[in-house]
Structure 1
Amino acid sequence: MKNVLIPTILQGDTINAIKTAIKSSNGEQCQLILMLLTDIPETYSSANLLRNINQDLSTTQENVLQMCREIILESNNCSLKIHHQYGISSPLFRNLMEHFAIELTILTPSFNSSKKKINRYCVQIISNSKCPILHLNVNFEEKAFSQALYIKNSDSILQAEDLQTYVNALFSLKIVSQTKINDLQKTNEIEPFLTDTISKNNINILIETRKPKKIKFLKKEKAPLNETLGLPVLSLYEAVY
């Protein structure tokens, strides 16, 4: 793993994302990019534009950023870059990923649940990208991933064996179990079974595949697996295989 993108609003879970990226790098040289998003104001005045886009960070955000810098300094193989992105679109995001040669995106709970429209839009753009996504959950404490459960969608043709080689390029883990679900199943119907499987196999990360979706702000999505089952989820874009 080389470069990791972490979209952030600089809450405490960003620190966990930084620690996870460092631990998962396995000592290889990598760059971690913290991306801060800002809307472009609708104005024709250059002075007003500059006033609006140059927003100061809060004390909490400054403290989180300083902690991230200190953690990076303690590592021997990772560097940190702060990227301020003004406005976002699918083409812009693709160019950004290519420019920084991003191989993994880490989404934190605070960014995922952000109410800002630009952040919500960015999450959907990221979900439609071909880059692997690691979804962290609220109570997650950074650790080295080792045992994975592959949760196969009903319309997927991929087996655990198909994913193992690709996953090994990202994390040193083994897919030890596989289960299949369909879109019609309710969370409360499958949760006991999945929880039992996770417990018996000492699972500490889930793997799923995804396909592109039409971006809709008003569409109500079911709760993601990382929230339902309390484990990080590695989401892989199925079309890459």
Structure 2
Amino acid sequence: MKNILIPTTLQSDTINAIKTAIKSSNGAQCQLILMLIADIPDTYSSANLLRNINQDLSTTQENVFQMCREIISESNNCSLKIHHQYGISSPIFRNLMEHYAIELTILTPSFKSSKKKINTQCVQIISNSKCPILHLNANFEKEVFSQALYIKNSDSILQIEDLQTYIKTLFSLKIVSQTKINDQQKANEIEPFLTDTISKNNINILIETRKPKKLKLLKKEKAALNETLGLPVLSLYEEVY
């Protein structure tokens, strides 16, 4: 069974994440875990704790949730589970991934742009995890990926043949082009070249590898190059190879 984690604030892009997850399952049995995350209320009162934890969803969130349930009910191989997570840390997240045997995490634009500190913290913890991450884009609604561009970091030791073999366990896609990015290269210098490559090769997803970073919970990260190109990106933890 392929299990996929989708942290969410139940905005409309969660629907696209659900559709993408179903497509990526390729007909195999798959459990989709929607994770709603919240702070642990700072209170000593049990009654007040329960009131803060059991907050009702807005009408918009209820509609998104219902749509997700309907989409999954129409699939023959996927099931849905809601996980309410109160408080987050690296050990907690690691245990969560092991408990559900997560093979892929999908991050939506709305969750990544959330101004809630705990969601920002969660995104950074996920980025430091060893699980593959699929970053979706706000205006990208294609649910099936076929042609990929591999953006190789200058210090990466991963060979494209090994990468292609591993990717086949996640998606039915092919790397049709690759480029190497030096740390000193400015994004505006390389972006026109990448845009032209994407257009000529009908590329619909980018692939990158990542290594662990020090958590900077109070500092917002600059937009990555792949975000400026307007395509989803599959981010793989390089040390898993």
Higher mean displacement: 96-105 or 38-47: 38-47
User: What residue in structure 2 maps to residue 185 of structure 1?
Assistant: 185
User: What residue in structure 1 maps to residue 169 of structure 2?
Assistant: 169
User: What residue in structure 1 maps to residue 110 of structure 2?
Assistant: 110
Q: CA deviation at 1:221?
A: 2.3
Q: Which amino acid aligns with 2:219?
A: K
Return the TM-score normalized by structure 1.
0.98
Q: Deviations over 1:76-132 (max 9, x none)?
A: 100000110011111110110011110000000000000001100000000000000
Q: Unaligned 5+ residue runs, structure 1?
A: none
Return the TM-score normalized by structure 2.
0.98
Q: Which amino acid aligns with 1:101?
A: A
Distance 1:219 1:44 in 2: 31
Q: Does 1:96 align with 2:96?
A: yes
Q: Which SS does the other structure have where 1:72 is aligned?
A: helix
User: Are the counterparts in 2 of residues 137 and 226 from structure 1 also a CA contact under 8 Å?
Assistant: no
User: What residue in structure 1 maps to residue 139 of structure 2?
Assistant: 139
Q: Which SS does the other structure have where 2:97 is aligned?
A: helix
Distance 1:102 1:225 in 2: 27
The total of aligned residue pairs comes to 241
Distance 2:105 2:161 in 1: 23
Distance 1:108 1:26 in 2: 21
Q: Which amino acid aligns with 2:83?
A: H
User: What residue in structure 2 maps to residue 69 of structure 1?
Assistant: 69
Q: List structure 1 runs of 4+ shifted beyond 4 angstroms.
A: none
Distance 1:51 1:226 in 2: 41
Q: Percent identical across equivalent pairs?
A: 88
Distance 1:60 1:220 in 2: 27
User: What residue in structure 1 maps to residue 41 of structure 2?
Assistant: 41
User: Are the counterparts in 2 of residues 13 and 110 from structure 1 also a CA contact under 8 Å?
Assistant: yes
Q: CA deviation at 1:160?
A: 1.4
Distance 1:52 1:220 in 2: 28
User: Are the counterparts in 1 of residues 16 and 143 from structure 2 also a CA contact under 8 Å?
Assistant: no
User: Are the counterparts in 2 of residues 153 and 182 from structure 1 also a CA contact under 8 Å?
Assistant: yes
Q: CA deviation at 1:7?
A: 0.1
Distance 2:196 2:162 in 1: 24
Q: Which SS does the other structure have where 2:94 is aligned?
A: helix
Q: Does 1:155 align with 2:185?
A: no
Q: CA deviation at 1:58?
A: 0.2
Q: Which SS does the other structure have where 2:9 is aligned?
A: coil
The two structures, once aligned, show a CA RMSD in angstroms of 1.0
Q: Does 1:14 align with 2:11?
A: no
User: What residue in structure 2 maps to residue 120 of structure 1?
Assistant: 120
Q: CA deviation at 1:220?
A: 4.3
Q: CA deviation at 1:142?
A: 3.0
